[in-house]
Amino acid sequence: MIDERDLIAALRQKDPHAFATLFDAYSDKLFGLAVGLLHDEDEAEGVVQEAFLRLFEGLDKFEGRSRLGTWLYRVAYNASIDRLRKRRPTRPLADELDAGDDSLPMPAIFTDWSSAPEPLFASAEAHAELERAVARLPESLRAVFILREMEGLSTTETAEVLGINTGAVKVRLHRARLLLREHLSGYFAERVAAGGN
């Protein structure tokens, strides 16, 4: 893998290979987070651009206290949230509304679809349903779920990106999982019952 200090040193020297390495390592990941939050590829592209430009501006001062990826994710996350706020300046974000609510989503569907035959999960329709389920999550839960479960960041890294504590990351991940389980249960349980077996 890339040694970060070497990469940063090479970026400071304006090494074009270092730029290509940086872009390859992080552009898709940042885009994944931004498009997951914004559901708009143009805006997500703007976020990725903003994150890299901010890094270039700050390169000389970049101290490496946090990892490069974490730093970029944080800028991309904040830029995405700014854009969400601009879209609907009069309405608070969904998660600001339920920030004080620590009740868990109660499971209501108890059909076991977990060992349904593989093709049920592999269909394009199932994939679209997975996307839809994530899109329905409140932004704060969605960001945690994307970073932890899909991008594979640790709890600590996720907390650093989002500017919250690790306890909050765990609670939000738990809520996100339960909400997604419920959503997917609605979809898969029906298909298991319809005799997919």
Partner 1 sequence: MECAELLQYLSEYIDNNLDEELTAEAQAHLATCANCKVVLDTTQQTIFLYKQQEPRKIPARRRRRLFNQLQDAFLKRPESS
Nearest 5 degrees, angle CA 19-CA 159-CA 180? 100
* Residue among 42, 47, 9, 10 nearest 27 (CA): 47
Q: Of 30, 192, 172, nearest to 95 (Cα)?
A: 172
- Give whichever of 88 and 122 is closer to partner 1, judged by the CB atom: 122
**CB 128 → partner 1: shortest distance, Å?**
12
Q: Measured from the CB atom, is 174 or 191 closer to partner 1?
A: 174
Q: Which is nearer to partner 1, 41 or 190 (CB)?
A: 41
Nearest CB to partner 1, comparing residues 20 and 92: 20
- Minimum distance between the CB of residue 27 and partner 1, rounded to whole angstroms? 6
Residue owning tokens 């609670």: 171
Tell me how far apart the alpha carbons of residues 41 and 59 are, in angstroms, rounded to a whole number. 27
The least distance separating partner 1 from the CB of residue 154, rounded to whole angstroms, comes to: 12
Nearest distance from C-beta of residue 65 to partner 1, angstroms: 19
* Environment class of 170 (CB within 10 Å of its CB; exposed 0-12, middle 13-18, buried 19+): middle
What's the closest the beta carbon of residue 195 comes to partner 1, in angstroms? 19
Our CB check for partner 1 shows the closer of 6 and 96 to be: 6
- Judging by beta carbons within 10 Å of its beta carbon (0-12, 13-18, 19+), is residue 86 exposed, middle or buried? exposed
Which lies closer to partner 1 via its Cβ, residue 81 or residue 180? Answer: 180
> In the complex, which residues of this chain contact partner 1 (CB under 8 A)?
11-14, 16, 19-20, 23, 27-29, 31-32, 35-36, 41, 45, 48-49, 52-53, 56-57, 59-60, 104, 106-107, 110-115, 121, 127, 130, 134, 145, 149-151, 170, 173-174, 177-178, 180-181, 184-185
Task: Provide the Cα torsion 88, 148, 177, 43; round to 10°.
Answer: 30
Q: Give the integer Cα–Cα distance in Å for 76 and 54.
A: 10
- Closest distance to partner 1 from the beta carbon of 89 (Å): 28
